Amino acid sequence: MLSDAWVPVRRASGRALTVRLCDITDAITTDPIVALDWPRPDFRLAGLEFLIGLLATACPPADDDGTDEPGGWLDWWKVAPSPDVLAEAFAPFAHAFVLDGDGPRFMQDLEDVAGDANRIETLLIDAPGGQTLKKNADHFVKRNAVATMGRAAAAMALFTLQSFAPAGGAGNRVGLRGGGPLTTLAVPPRNGSLPLWHLLWANVPVGEVPTPEQLPRIFPWLAPTRTSEAGRSTTPTDTHDRHAFWGMARRIRLEFADNVDSASCDLSGATDSVVVRAWRQRPYGTNYAAWEHPLSPYYRQKPTDAQWLPVHAQPGGVGYRHWVGLIFADAATTRRAARCISRFRERRLWQVAKGGDRLRWRLLAAGYDMDNMKARGFVESEMPVIEPGDPQRTEAFVQLLRQLIAGANDAAALLGRAVRRALFSDGAKVALDAGLLTTLRERFWATTEPAFLERVQAAAGGAIEAEAVRRQWLRDLAGAAAALFAEAAPIDATGADRRPDRIAAAAKGLRFALNGYGKDGESLFRALGLPPPAVAKPKSVAKAGKRRT
């Protein structure tokens, strides 16, 4: 895996090709590689994690203090290492990256695994499960769509499963971060196409190159599996810190076969001399506990809790409502940004961005939205991140962000309740997460995002006072809520279940709250950090806010 060309990539010119791992810096000044070109989004994300982990293990920066000293982070940022230099750095680890053969196999149990063979498609996280097949419910992801994989696709499918592994039945352990973890990466400022190298290097942690004796503690397939039959857990103190990139919760062995019929890989379309059509699994692999992966954010239930839990992907992807928790959070709160994000913001951004460029980096957030063992979908978002022009204003800036987002949360809830009152009778049992209302909420966030970025940009540059930003934002929220309410509950709509009087009352109640009146209005203004309305509550408005029967 470290010497053969097997990784599909795309250059800035649009040319697609397959390269060795060490070739990621090839032609970086003329036609750089800008993206991995795997046919699946989960493979592309896992591929980024794989490369960051490889660099963090084989050739990590010694420091990132901003000096140009050889071995420092800034050194390779300014002048990327050549493919020959990377090949030399990777060479001592070649024996740990052999996919098939008689010795240790990449991401596979050191022992042979007996038992029934599984179809290779079930190695994919979104493949239909046993119950789905039994009920003939594989309507969207069909069975038998992937019967053959080449070794390149099989290697990435295996790494993807081990990295993001959900619950897999009795004894089949979840990944080091639990099932379906959220990965966040810093995407540096750039003019034109961003070389893949700079995306990777921006997120590689500092460290030291491990000694040969440490490798079995980093790559678990080089040693007997730390099994968990008796409930034994594996914590960071049991291994090396770089083990976080190479966690192997499942005891798996791939079955390789000569490709005698020249079948092509059902994922890549390429033809390999050796293919994989089945795999075996043994329960009670490694049970990871108390780990923190460098590329994932974490949270805790209460500020006093000692245990931090990995953040998982959710329906709808990532948007501005997640900003504080994924970017600016720290250990004093219940949210903690991924270490790669904190490190980039605090130590690296100022080294690579000048002036206004500090306001232009982006956050990539992606992962599987899981419902226990079932993948509901793979979500991926990239959004701009705005930093304050003066770093000394960061604390006040983050506090303003918290208020703006809290206000948006309140306004979204007000909109949902108003639409529910407009469309359904008092006794109707309609969950607020039902399809219509969930879609409405997501539309609210999408509709208000441009205004949010505009307000935050102005606040970051110091062009407008925070009080004015909050009031402008309130007008943005009220306008979006009113427009979406009118779409969801048009007063002139026909139908036996439509009540114009009920719709009108709900609309007035929504306006009543958005103007700061009533308990809901007081809560909204408090969330935004705004004083309550100065004018006494008019009686006529109060009556309008009551629901008619």
Position 547 pLDDT exceeds 50: no
Task: Tell me which residue range forms the domain holding 212.
Answer: 7-352
344 and 393 in a single domain? The answer is no
Look at residues 300, 329, 352 and tell me which one is the last residue of a structural domain: 352
Mean pLDDT of the chain: 90
The percent of the chain in helix, strand and coil, each rounded to the nearest 5, is 45, 15, 45
365 and 156 Cβ atoms separated by less than 8 Å: no
Same domain for 200 and 334? yes
| For range 456-476, the mean pLDDT | 92
Using the Cα atoms of residue 67, residue 70, residue 71 and residue 75 in order, give the sign of their dihedral.
positive
Residue 73 DSSP class: H
CA distance 326 to 184: 8
Average the pLDDT over each of 153-157, 164-168, 184-188 and give the range with the smallest value: 164-168
**Dist. CA 456–CA 446, nearest whole Å:** 16
What pLDDT does residue 251 have? 96
CB atoms within 10 A of CB 331: 13
Instruction: Please report whether residue 377 resides in a domain.
Output: no
pLDDT of residue 247 exceeding 90, the answer is: yes
Q: How many domains does the chain have?
A: 2
The answer to whether residues 223 and 322 belong to one domain is yes
Same domain, 163 and 292: yes
Q: How far apart are CA 494 and CA 357, in angstroms?
A: 53
Of 291, 324, 352, the one marking the end of a domain is: 352
Give a yes or no: residue 342 inside a domain.
yes
Predicted local distance difference test score (pLDDT) of residue 483: 97
Contact yes or no for 268/111 (Cβ under 8 A) = no
For residue 378, the cross-strand partners are 368
Of the CA atoms within 13 Å of residue 199, those in its CB half-sphere come to 22
Judgement on whether residues 347 and 460 belong to the same structural domain of the protein = no
Residues 229 and 330 in one domain: yes
Q: Are residues 335 and 415 in the same domain?
A: no
CA 235 to mean position of chain CA atoms: 23
Q: Which of 326, 352, 378 is the last residue of a domain?
A: 352
In a domain, 367, yes or no: no
Model confidence at 36, pLDDT cuts 50, 70, 90, reads very high
Q: What pLDDT is stored for residue 115 in this prediction?
A: 82
Residue 376 included in any domain: no
Shared domain check, 405 and 299: no
> Is the per-residue pLDDT at 77 higher than 60?
yes
Give the per-residue pLDDT at 140: 45
414 & 319 share domain: no
pLDDT (tens digit per residue) in 112-148: 998 899 999 999 999 986 555 454 444 345 556 899 9
Determine, yes or no, domain membership for 231: yes
Residues 497-519: tens digit of each pLDDT:
667 888 999 999 999 999 999 99
**438 and 324 in a common domain:** no
Is residue 359 a part of any domain in this protein?
A: no
299 and 231 share a domain? yes
Specify if 374 maps to a domain.
no
Residue 150, token pair as written in the block: 């080449």
Say what the pTM is.
Answer: 0.91
Residue 506 lies in a domain: yes
Helices (H), 29-129: 41-58, 73-78, 83-90
Ranges 34-48, 78-92, 534-548: which has the least confidence: 534-548
Residue predicted with more confidence, 532 or 46: 46
Judge if 13 and 101 occupy the same domain: yes
